[in-house]
Amino acid sequence: MSFPHLQSEVYFPDSLIESLEELLQGYPEDKVFVVTENNTERLCWPLLASNSVLNKLPRLVIGTGEESKSTDTLIQVWQFLSDNGADRKSLVINVGGGMLTDLCGFAASTYKRGMHFVNIPTTLLSQVDASVGGKTGINFNGFKNEVGTFALPQKVYINTEFLKTIGEENNKSGFAEMVKHGLIWDANHFEDLKKFDLDKMNLNELKDLIARSVVIKEHFVLNDPTEKGIRKALNFGHTAGHAFESYAMKKQKPMLHGYAVALGVIVELYLSCRKLNLKETIVKEVAVWLIDIYGKFEIDTDDFQPLYQLMTHDKKNEGKRINFTLIPEIGKFEIDINCGREEIFEALDFYRTL
């Protein structure tokens, strides 16, 4: 299965090894490089290492986790490419989760003012979100994805076999982005996700759900590649979610991105009720379902101001306005909805008391 009409070709190959062998035929052997990270190297690389050509490629293994999504690691990748003679016609194969594909996409898009790169996302989150759409970046000054570029990979290869290696929490993290896709664009997709058994994952069924989420995301990317308009819909749950994620990091209680997005969705569902008349019954039903999956990051009223302050740094804001994507009903969205401090505090209090 593939989507060649998309800006980046997204493939669900029956044989990932064969697809990579075909890809490598287009590049000299000494101009292809691999970057992965510690956990991926240990858990996922064995699925690729059976190919002797892939196993011989120069490979850099970087650190794991959001703390590695930094200028120091970016320089490490640039240095690796430079030391091995990479040029603008070289290819870097990024094998890992969203942290790695974001960072290495940024490295590739800036090295020699841009070289080819391919993403092999190994987590559910990166398969449905980070590896497609052309956003790259690193964290800076305590803010997530503060510096980055828009740069498209030549190809994206998605293989659900990797999901057997990453654990339940990481799969749940990716699932949150799929839930977001359903909430903003496709009520049927949302209902299918509600029926999906996360505890006993059927990978064939999941592949179809991933493909649907990829199509939804690419619809927005194709129509608004640099996020000037409707692509902002994909930020549903993220204005509050990124605040939760950054705050948890500052508290030294880091949470996975998808868990933060799920909590952000709850907050922004409440704001959708307040601003766009989303039915209160839907808000409560979805909030309870999400907390059942993701649990709670406990906050009290003293946390509202620092969370609000983090939201003021969101890249979608214009001046002093905090802009949200909100939904009037499941499957529909409105962008650039300004919410004031008291409304945001009210939404946080709704979440706190659930």
For 74-93, what is the mean pLDDT?
A: 97
| Backbone phi and psi for residue 186, each to the nearest 5 degrees, phi listed first | -145, 100
CA gap 353, 333 in Å, rounded: 26
CA gap 119, 64 in Å, rounded: 17
List Cβ neighbours of 137 (8 Å cut-off, separation of 6 or more). Answer: 69, 102, 103, 106, 145, 146, 147, 148, 149
Start-end of CATH 3.40.50.1970 domains in the chain: 2-166
For 138-143, what is the mean pLDDT?
A: 89
pLDDT class for 6, splitting at 50, 70, 90?
very low
Q: What percent of the chain has pLDDT over 70?
A: 96
CA gap 270, 350 in Å, rounded: 7
Q: Which two tokens stand for residue 38?
A: 């510690």
Give per-residue pLDDT as tens, 196-233. Answer: 999 999 999 999 999 999 999 989 988 888 788 999 99
First to last CA, the chain: 42
CA gap 250, 244 in Å, rounded: 10
- By DSSP bridging, strand 9-11 and strand 155-157 are parallel
Start-end of CATH 1.20.1090.10 domains in the chain: 170-352
- E strand map for the chain: 2-3, 9-11, 32-37, 59-62, 91-96, 116-121, 138-140, 143-147, 155-157, 323-326, 334-338
Nearest alpha carbon to residue 93 among 159, 24, 12: 24
Q: Which residues pair with 9 in a beta bridge?
A: 155
**CATH topology for 170-352?**
Dehydroquinate synthase-like, alpha domain (1.20.1090)
pLDDT at res. 149: 93
For 6-11, what is the mean pLDDT?
A: 71
Query: Burial level of 319, CB count in 10 A (0-12/13-18/19+)?
Result: exposed
| 315 pLDDT more than 70 | no
SS3 content of the chain, % helix, strand, coil (to 5): 55, 15, 30
92, 133, 222 from 119: Cα distances, Å: 9, 12, 19
Contact between 91 and 32 (Cβ < 8 Å): yes
Does domain 2-166 fall under CATH 3.40.109.10? My reply is: no
Tokens 């209680």, residue located = 253
Would you call 34 helix, strand, or coil by DSSP? strand
For 96-111, what is the mean pLDDT?
A: 96
| 5 pLDDT more than 80 | no
pTM of the complete model beyond 0.75: yes
